[in-house]
Amino acid sequence: MTGGRGPGTGIRFDEVTVAYGGTVALDTLDLTVRPGEVLALLGPSGSGKTTALRTVAGFVRPTGGRVWIGGRDVTDLPPHARDVGMVVQSYALFPHMRVEDNVAFGLKARKAPKMPRAEIAARVGEALETTGMSGYARRYPRELSGGQQQRVAIARALAVRPGVLLLDEPLSALDARLRSGMLAELARLHRELPEVPMVYVTHDQVEALTLADRVAVMDRARLRALGTPRELYRSPADTFTASFVGSANLLPVTCAAEGTVRFGGTALTVGLGAAGASRAGEERTLCVRPHRIVLGEDGPNVLRGTVTAVQWRGATHRVAIEAEGHEVRADVPELDTVPAPGERLALSFAPGDAALLPARTGANGAQDHD
C-alpha cells in the first residue's frame, strides 16, 4: 500500500453537474461509493457514465457541485494529486513507450520518495503477471491487439496501487473466456485491496452482477436507480431499470382487486410486496424475467398464445409467444422437443416472480434488450 491513506477511502458525488457547452452530460449526481465497495455504473451510451468518472479523475471540472475522495474535497485538485487509477475507454497507452515503460510510468513519475529500480521492476512484473501480459513487456502498444492493449491499460492502473480505481469498460475488447478470467482476477484483486473503492462502467450485465456490490443505473445524465444487483434485478423501481439490469418481459396491465391484475383478458396474481399501493383501474407494467417463466400450465398465472420464435442458446431455449397482443419470452432449459412457430403454447410463472412497476411512459427510453 502507498501508506498514509486512512481507513475508508470513499468517493462522494455531491450534486455534481457537468455541462459541455450546451449539453448537460451529468445532472446533479448525488452518489456515494463506500470504502472498498465495487460500484457498477450501467446505462445506455451517452448517459454520462464516462463523464462521472472523469470528474473523479479530475479530467473535467464540474460546472456545479463537489467531488470528495476519502473525506477530502478534491474538486479543485489537479489529477496528479488525486491518487486515482483509471482505465479509459480508449486505453490511451503511450505510443512511444514499450509495454513495460507504460506500466512503470506511474511509478517513475511519482515525486519523492523515489522508488528503487528493483522495486519498480518487481511491481511492473507483478502487474503484467496479473493481466497475463508478461510475454509482451518489450512490445510497443501499436504491436498489440485491442484486447492486449486493454490489459496493459489495466496493468498500468494497477501498478501504482491507487487509492481509488475507475474502470471504464475495462473488459469490453476481450473475448468471453479472457473476460471471465480477467473478471476473476479483478475480483481477487479487490479482495487483496479491501479498502479501495472501484467504480466500474460496463454494458455487460454479467460483469456488473458478478463484481458489483451495488449497481447504479444512469439514463440521460441522471442517476436512475441505485441498489444491490439483487434488489435491482428482483424488484426494479421502474421499467427502464428492469430492462437495463437483465432482460425482462414488460407487460402492460391494469390493476384489479388487491394482488391481482388484468393483462388483456387474462387475470394474473402478483406478489403482494411487488405492488405498492395500487387502486383498481390503474395502469401498471408487470415485469417478469424470462428465465422465471416455465412451459406448461402451473399455478395461478398462465399465459396462452401462439409461438412466434424459438432460439437455441446452448444451455437454454428462448421461446417467444404472442399472448394478448404482446410478446412474452421465456428462457427454459434446453428442450428435447422444440415447439414449432404457430403452435399453441402455455407459459406460467409464480406470483413471487412478478414485479409491478409504474406504467411505461413513451419517454421512458431504453428498449428492452438482452
Partner 1 sequence: MLVHTCKGRWAAWAVFAVLFVPLFALPLLVIAVASLSTHWSGAFPSGPTVEHYAAATRGESLAALSVSLQTAVGAGLLALALGTWAALAAASLGPRLKRVLDALFVLPVAVPSVVVGLAVLVAFSRPPLLLNGTRWIVFVAHTVLVTAFAYQSVSAALTRLDPAYAQMAASLGARPWYVLWRVKLPLLLPSLTAAAGLCFALSMGELSATMMLYPPDWMPLPVKIFAATDRGSLFVGSALAVVLMAATLCVLLAVARVRTRAAYR
Cell of 54: 472523469
Shortest Å distance, C-beta 285 to ligand ATP: 25
Measured from the CB atom, the residue of 54 and 234 that comes closer to partner 1 is 54
**The dihedral formed by the CA atoms of 337, 343, 346 and 349, expressed in degrees to the nearest 10:** 70
Residue 218 or 237 having the CB closest to Mg ion: 218
Here's the x/- map for ligand ATP, 51-70, by CB under 6 A: it reads as x-------------------
Contact between 261 and 354 (Cβ < 8 Å): no
Q: Are 233 and 250 in contact (CB under 8 A)?
A: no
Spatial separation of the C-alpha atoms in residues 331 and 346, rounded to whole Å: 14
Identify which of residues 156 and 234 has a Cβ nearer to partner 1 in the complex: 156
From 23, 90, 337, 367, residue interacting with ligand ATP (rule: CB under 6 A): 23
Per rule CB under 6 A, is residue 47 in the interface with ligand ATP?
A: yes
Exactly one of 14, 27, 34, 46 binds ligand ATP (CB under 6 A); that residue is: 46
Nearer to Mg ion, 170 or 246 (CB): 170
With CB under 8 A as the contact rule, the residue among 35, 43, 48, 85 that binds partner 1 is: 85
Closest distance of CB 133 from partner 1, Å: 17
Residue 96 or 344 having the CB closest to partner 1? 96
Binding segment for ligand ATP (CB under 6 A), chosen from 27-35, 45-53, 153-161, 325-333, is 45-53
Instruction: Decide whether 50 or 149 has the Cβ nearer to Mg ion.
Output: 50
Neighbour count for residue 87 (Cβ, 10 Å): 25
* Sole binder of ligand ATP in the list 11, 12, 48, 242 (CB under 6 A): 48
Is the dihedral angle over the CA atoms 43, 44, 48, 51 positive or is it negative? positive
115 in contact with partner 1 (CB under 8 A): no
Cell numbers 427510453 correspond to what residue? 365
Single out the residue of 82, 190, 289, 329 in contact with partner 1 (rule: CB under 8 A). 82
| 301 lies in the site for Mg ion, by CB under 5 A | no
Contact positions with Mg ion (CB under 5 A) in 38-67:
50
Q: Do the beta carbons of residue 137 and residue 152 sit within 8 Å?
A: no
Asked whether position 4 contacts partner 1 by CB under 8 A, the answer is no
Contact (Cβ atoms closer than 8 angstroms) between residue 150 and residue 141? no
The binder of partner 1 chosen from 111, 177, 191, 279 (CB under 8 A): 111
Q: Which is nearer to ligand ATP, 269 or 364 (CB)?
A: 364
Are the beta carbons of 202 and 208 closer than 8 angstroms?
yes
Alpha helix positions (H), the chain:
49-57, 99-109, 117-130, 146-159, 176-192, 205-211, 229-234, 239-244, 272-275
Q: What is the biggest distance separating any 2 CA atoms in the chain, rounded to whole angstroms?
A: 75
Closest residue to Mg ion: CB criterion = 50
DSSP string, 306-338: EEEEEEE-SSEEEEEEEETTEEEEEEEE--SSP
Q: How many Å apart are CA 301 and CA 274, to the nearest integer?
A: 15
The residue among 342, 234, 209 whose CA lies nearest residue 291 is: 234
Closer by beta carbon to Mg ion, 90 or else 337: 90
Residues that bind ligand ATP (CB under 6 A): 20, 23, 25, 43, 45-51, 89
Footprint on this chain of Mg ion (rule: CB under 5 A): 50
